[in-house]
């Protein structure tokens, strides 16, 4: 069985539109953070009781921690991996 090696500096783009906002915001998460966000979001949609979380996004040349309340998200769209 072959092992998949992911470049730790790669990122995945995620577009999030918040309720009441006409435009979506673009965020770049590391692959690990992107996977954690996707897992938490899926659990939220299935009624697990998770209501959000803090995620590290990549902004230009540094990382920023954002806190998301899932009940305020209208939709998400996963983008491509960079």
* The pLDDT of residue 9: 61
Stretch 22-39: mean pLDDT: 92
Six-digit token string for 48? 């697990």
Name the DSSP class of 49: S
Beta bridge partners of 60: none
pTM of the full predicted structure?
A: 0.80
* The pLDDT of residue 1: 45
What does the longest C-alpha to C-alpha distance in the chain come to? 47
* The pLDDT of residue 11: 84
Measured CA to CA, the distance from residue 55 to residue 3 in angstroms comes to: 26
- pLDDT tens readout for residues 35-80: 999 999 999 999 999 999 999 998 878 889 999 999 999 989 887 7
Measured CA to CA, the distance from residue 45 to residue 37 in angstroms comes to: 12
């Amino acid at each position: 069985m072959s092992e998949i090696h992911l470049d730790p500096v790669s990122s995945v783009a995620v577009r999030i539109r918040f309720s009441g906002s006409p435009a979506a915001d673009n965020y770049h998460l590391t692959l690990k953070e992107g996977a954690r966000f996707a897992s938490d979001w899926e659990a939220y949609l299935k009624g697990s009781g998770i209501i959000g979380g803090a995620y590290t996004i990549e902004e230009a040349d540094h990382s920023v921690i954002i806190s998301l309340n899932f009940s305020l998200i209208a939709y998400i769209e996963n983008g491509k991996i960079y």
